[in-house]
Amino acid sequence: MNFLTDEMEGNLTRWLRFLGYNTLYAKDYESIYGSPVADDDLIEQCFIEHRILITRDREMVNRFKKKYKKIIQENPDIYLKFDINPSLTPCILLNSTKFAENMSAIFKKFNIRLNYDSKIARCSKCNSNIEIIEDKKKFREKIPDSVYQNIDEFWVCTNKDCNKIYWIGGHFKEIFNRLAEIKKYI
């Protein structure tokens, strides 16, 4: 499942990437379309890239569904490329500004994973894959001293322009707490 989030959903974007979902953000398209990216351009990208639209913009969802209906009537096989249950429309209108409620709504509609797995997690910054660092010495200058001394397992973004380093530190307690909070709404 691949997602595209509108400009209001940056936090959801990072979390979906963290959970291993290929998720692009409206701002990721600014180099192509300028800023801000028009809703119709984002809708078009959803169909070109077979991405599920996540938004709180009711009018955008209405335009998406109208276009979706026309495309599916003309090319029913296109639906299979969205990698979802055939009874679902590949978009979701979020009705809350609360993170946990929105994540649980996405879970309920698309049955997403709500568990962290470093083997499938993606870079929260650029959406690329991350891979385990076999020799942390190669990244010594990018890792804070106290972390380098106390942590042995690190991951790096495979995008050489990003190259962000990840490790399981104290912030993971907060991450697991947030995941538990989301599950309360399910």
Q: Which residues have a Cβ under 8 Å from the Cβ of 45 and sit 6 or more positions away?
A: 4, 24, 29, 51
Nearest to 166 by CA among 137, 140, 133, 141: 133
Could you say which DSSP state residue 158 is in?
Answer: S
For position 88, what pLDDT does the model report?
Answer: 83
Query: Is the pTM higher than 0.85?
Result: yes
For position 75, what pLDDT does the model report?
Answer: 85
Q: How many residues in the chain?
A: 186
For position 73, what pLDDT does the model report?
Answer: 85
Evaluate whether 110 touches 84 at the Cβ level (below 8 Å): yes
Q: How far is CA 170 from CA 2, 120, 125, 151, 155, in A?
A: 29, 21, 19, 11, 16
Q: Is 121 left (phi over 0), alpha (psi -120 to 50) or beta?
A: beta
For position 135, what pLDDT does the model report?
Answer: 93
Positions of the chain with pLDDT lower than 70, given as ranges? none
Task: Tell me the chain's radius of gyration from C-alpha atoms.
Answer: 18
For position 174, what pLDDT does the model report?
Answer: 87
| pLDDT tens digits, one per residue of 27-79 | 999 999 999 999 999 999 999 999 999 999 999 999 999 999 888 888 888 88
Q: How far is CA 21 from CA 25, 43, 63, in A?
A: 12, 19, 25
For position 7, what pLDDT does the model report?
Answer: 94
| pLDDT tens digits, one per residue of 32-46 | 999 999 999 999 999
For position 8, what pLDDT does the model report?
Answer: 92
